[in-house]
Amino acid sequence: MAVQVQRRLFTVSEYYRMAEAGILGEDDRVELLEGEIVQMAPIGSNHRGTVDFLANSLVSRLGARAIVRTQNPIRLDDFSEPQPDVALLHPRADFYRRSHPTPADVLLLVEVADSSVAFDRQVKLPLYCPSGHS
C-alpha cells in the first residue's frame, strides 16, 4: 500500500512566529516561498558587489522618486515573502517601517542571479509575475 505524503505549508504569520520562538535565527538565510521555507544561496563577492552597484546607481538616478531596498522582504501573499536583491518601491513617509511592502508598492524587482538563474526563473519569477508577464 502506497503512503501518500502531504507537505505542511506555512503562512507568513507562522514563519514570523518561528523566528520569534528562535526556531529560525537572525543569521539564517531563508525565505518563505509558496509556504515552504527555502534556504538561500550564500552571497559571494561578485553578487554583493553587483547588488551594491545597482542599488547605488538607482539611488543616485532616482533620488526621492522611489525607495531602493536591497535583500529585504516583499510580502506577496499569505504564503510568500521573498527577499529580492533589489526592489524599487513607491515612496512612503514611514519607509515601510510599519509593514513590509506588498505587490501594490513595487515598481521594480531585480534578482541578481550569478548562481541561481534556473531557480529565479522557474520559482521566483512566477511568484513575482503570476499573470505570466515579466
Cα–Cα distance, 112 to 85 (Å, whole number): 6
Query: H or E stretch including 52?
Result: helix 45-62
pLDDT of 86 over the 60 cut: yes
For 38-79, write each residue's pLDDT tens digit: 998 888 999 999 999 999 999 999 999 999 999 999 999 999
- Residue 134: the pLDDT is 54
C-alpha cell of residue 9? 505549508
Answer yes or no: are the C-beta atoms of 12 and 79 closer than 8 Å. yes
C-alpha cell of residue 22? 528562535
Average pLDDT score, the chain: 92
Answer yes or no: are the C-beta atoms of 27 and 5 closer than 8 Å. no
> What mean pLDDT do residues 27-40 have?
94
**Which residue did the predictor score with more confidence, 30 or 41?**
30
- End-to-end CA separation in angstroms for the chain: 44
For 92-132, write each residue's pLDDT tens digit: 999 999 999 999 999 999 999 877 788 888 888 889 887 55
Q: Tell the burial category of 20 from Cβ atoms under 10 Å away from its Cβ (0-12, 13-18, 19+).
A: exposed
pLDDT-derived band at 5, boundaries 50, 70, 90: confident
- Residue 102: the pLDDT is 96
Cα–Cα distance, 14 to 58 (Å, whole number): 34
Look up the pTM and report it.
Answer: 0.86
pLDDT of 91 over the 80 cut: yes
- Residue 119: the pLDDT is 86
Cα–Cα distance, 118 to 120 (Å, whole number): 6
- What is the Rg, in whole angstroms, of the alpha carbon atoms belonging to the chain? 16
DSSP helix/strand/coil, 129: coil
